[in-house]
Amino acid sequence: MMIYQNQVPNVTFTNRFSWQSQTTKDIFGGKRVVLFALSGAFTPTCSSTHLPRYEELYFQIRAQGIDQIICLSVNDPFVMYEWGKQQNIKNVVLLADGTGEFTRKMGMLVNKDNVGFGWRSWRYSMVVNDCKIEKIFVEPGLEDNSQVDPFEVSDANTMLNYLKSIGYVPQTKTPSSQTQVKNRTYM
């Protein structure tokens, strides 16, 4: 599978939840964004560790010069919205890639029929700076019907450690704990 090397693919995310559409440029243009992708809302590792840890480290990650943190999954917006409510997510933005187009163009769409999931995203995380991929962490073993579901490098701790290692000097004012995303679900 080919992974997008230089920039995020140009797609339109159609949201039937709020009847809005947003392009990749709308979401990533002019911003430095952390995006992490996972196999599905309400799944065990995604719900117990992956999403909750990014929410927990939200302000620490933002303090490293990140404008927004996005969780992407090949689910519909209704599922992502309900999952966000169930997980009590206040800061991380949930982005539904309902058709899987973004995930496919990233080279991360995998068939998970062997576990009854169908087409899903492989786990990865990345820093996107004005639509350009600055750094990407892809879990090992990327393939259809993988017998493993690794969770080693797309986690929040790895991302935070990477961001700290590149030496960003935080602004004098870090995001306050009162800052919240008005609508935590794009799609």
Q: Annotated active-site positions, please?
A: 46
Q: What is the DSSP letter of 122?
A: P
What is the SS3 assignment for 180? coil
- In the chain, the amino acid numbered 100 is G
CA 169, CA 19: separation in Å to the nearest integer? 39
CB-based burial of residue 37 (10 Å sphere; 0-12 exposed, 13-18 middle, 19+ buried)? buried
Q: In Å, what is the CA distance from 142 to each residue of 14, 64, 76, 123, 147?
A: 27, 29, 23, 9, 10
DSSP-based three-state secondary structure for 127: strand
DSSP 95: E
